[in-house]
Structure 1
């Protein structure tokens, strides 16, 4: 059975990916700073097929530590899925250098370092896959998400370069760019706009052709497929999952 590292797999999309891979027979290691939440999210899964470690992926050594912990599960690594992210919402005049740097460290540097650390092991597996989490923010403007949008735009470019670098080793690299997925990750946005939450959500949903906010499983299915052996000839791509919002 293949083995995956889900970096940032404690909640939201990351948890949904970890659970979907487990249901498909994978071994899964979850690394996250919220390790208690990770244990809660996988408590009903077969305990012999997953492991959890606490890791601060925004720290320089967090990526290598996560890869090492994943290798301890089975000695092999077939896929890495990076879902960890930070959203800071501020008006332009209030955005700080520290907030910019923390966002870049987690959203852009960490996926690079995880991939760099995992690359030899992914190549050795014969079916290595890297799946990173982008965002539709890479393709549209946001009035307070300056660092977030910039980091996700950078991630889309990073995916292309990683795909070129790792293609000869048989490793595919892609990213999935979710739109409005209904998780607490969006709370900083709602806090910044300061509107009535229910009305703001209704206004947003009215702009989405599918007519609903997305759920983590709406994204996890594609991410699990991109991690699979069947997706080997797909690489360097960024896939939007947004209910049609960018198309409208």
Structure 2
């Protein structure tokens, strides 16, 4: 069975991806700071695949390398790295600090690079190595308070192209999935910044989405799992938007 490392698999899209991969017969290792939530998510799946969880602060310089090493302990192989870990800081321009910027970049942009760098030799040995990064539609549109988040996600869209070129000769495919408004607690900083009643702000947002609803984690997990699979062997260097049609409108 193939083995996946999911960086940030305790909640939201990462959790939905871990569940789906287990159900599809994968072995899964989760690296996250929220160990109890990750273990709870793993326990909800009755599939027979091997699974493990380890505490890891991916925003540190050595965290990504440690995450790869711990993932290899599960089965001795690594076929896919899925990066769902991220942070969103929402502040008005005058209030945005250098600490906000640096913390966001460390987790959202540096960690995916370091994870891929550390995993690359093992993914090459797989014969069907895959890297799937989680970007955002924020890479393609403006946001009044998500300065570092938007910049970091734009960086990932550019990064996948370079990684795809570098790792293509090794048979490793690298892609990015860019979710729109997915209904998870990750968006709470935005609801707090816009103020007022969330229900009202959400109605205004949903009215701009052609499909008329917020997305669910499973809507993104399905595409991630496909891109991690052997079936996606001729797709690399791409960024795929999953937003219910919002950018199209």
Q: Is the 8 A contact 2:26 2:49 kept in 1?
A: no
Q: CA–CA distance in 2 between the matches of 1:44 and 1:89? A: 32
- TM-score between the two structures when normalised by the length of structure 1: 0.99
Q: CA–CA distance in 1 between the matches of 2:12 and 2:65? A: 23
Determine the structure 2 residue equivalent to 1:101.
102
Structure 1: runs of 5 or more not aligned:
none
What SS does structure 1 have at the residue aligned with 2:54?
Answer: strand
Determine the structure 2 residue equivalent to 1:223.
224
Determine the structure 2 residue equivalent to 1:122.
123
Determine the structure 2 residue equivalent to 1:9.
9
- TM-score between the two structures when normalised by the length of structure 2: 0.98
Determine the structure 1 residue equivalent to 2:22.
22
Return the offset for 1:196: 1.2
Equivalent residues in 2 for 1:176-215, closer than 5 Å:
176-215=177-216
Determine the structure 2 residue equivalent to 1:73.
74
Give aligned pairs, total.
248
Q: Is the 8 A contact 2:22 2:49 kept in 1?
A: no
Q: CA–CA distance in 2 between the matches of 1:48 and 1:185? A: 28
Determine the structure 1 residue equivalent to 2:162.
161
Return the offset for 1:42: 1.2
Q: CA–CA distance in 2 between the matches of 1:47 and 1:194? A: 45
2:152 matched to 1:151? Answer: yes
Q: Over aligned residues, Cα RMSD in angstroms?
A: 0.8
After superposing on structure 2, the runs of 4+ consecutive aligned residues of structure 1 that deviate more than 6 Å are none
Return the offset for 1:195: 2.3
What SS does structure 1 have at the residue aligned with 2:183?
Answer: coil
Determine the structure 1 residue equivalent to 2:174.
173
What SS does structure 2 have at the residue aligned with 1:42?
Answer: helix
